[in-house]
Homo-oligomer: A and B are copies of this chain.
Amino acid sequence: MEKGKKAPKKTRNLEQSRKEILDAAFWEVFTRGFQGVSIDDIVKKTSMTKGAFYHQFPTKLDLGYALVDEVIKPMTYSRWIDPLKEYDNPLEGILLQIKKLIGKAAPQELRYGCPLNNLVQEMAPVDAGFKKRLQNALTYWIEGMDKELKRAQKEGFLRPDVNTRQVAHFVVMAHEGFYGMLKGLDDPKAFNALYDSLKRYFETLRA
C-alpha cells in the first residue's frame, strides 16, 4: 500500500468539487466577464458535469456570489495587503508591490485587468447581491490598507496629520485605475507614467 497523504482517496468530495468549479469559473469569468460566460463553458473546464454544478450552486448568481466571497476577496487581500506586513515601511511596500504585481506582470495577464475591479464594473450596477458582496470585498481591502498606513504613521514613516483612511481610499483607487488604464491602452510605457505620478503623491505624505 502506498503512503496515503492526509487526503482520503475519495472519488466524491463536496469541498474539493466546489473548489474545482470555483477555480474553473474564476478563470472563465476573469477572462470573459460574468455575463459573457455560460455554465456549460465552466462545466466543460471541469472534470465534472452539470449535475455537480447545480448540486453546489442553485443558480448562476449564487456561483458569482461565491466567487466574490470565497475566491476574489481573499485573493485580493493576500495579494495586496499580506505582503505589506513584510516591510518595515508600508509606504515603500505598497510601491514595490505595485511594481512587482503590475509593472512586471506579463502583458497577457495584464490585459484581463483586476478580477475584483472587473466584477465591480460589470455587475455592481446590474445586481444588488453582487453589489453588496463587491462592496464588502472593496471595504475589506481598504481597511487592510488603512491598518498598514496607521502602522506607517506609528512608526514615523507617514506624517501624523494625514488622514489614513482617506489615503487608503486613494491608493486602492489607484490600483483599480492602473489596471483599468493598462487594460485599455496596453502600452507598457503607460505603467511608468502612472507609477511615477503615484510616487510623487506618496512623497507628499512622508514624515
Interface residues of A (CB under 8 A from B): 31-33, 35-36, 111-113, 117-118, 120-122, 124-126, 131, 134-135, 138-139, 163, 165-167, 169-170, 172-174, 176-178, 180-181, 183-186, 190, 192-194, 196-198, 200-201, 203-204
Q: Chain A: interface secondary structure? A: helix
Are A32 and B176 neighbours in the complex by a CB distance under 8 Å? no
CB-nearest residue of chain B relative to A134? B184
**Contact partner, A33, options B31, B126, B166, B192, Cβ 8 Å:** B126
Are B111 and A124 neighbours in the complex by a CB distance under 8 Å? yes
CA distance A122 to B180 in the complex (A): 10
CB-nearest residue of chain B relative to A169? B193
Q: Which residues of chain B are near A134, meaning CB under 8 Å? A: 184
CA distance A135 to B185 in the complex (A): 5
CB-nearest residue of chain B relative to A174? B177
Are B180 and A117 neighbours in the complex by a CB distance under 8 Å? yes
Known: A118-B121, A125-B31, A194-B170. A181 touches B176 (CB 8 A): yes
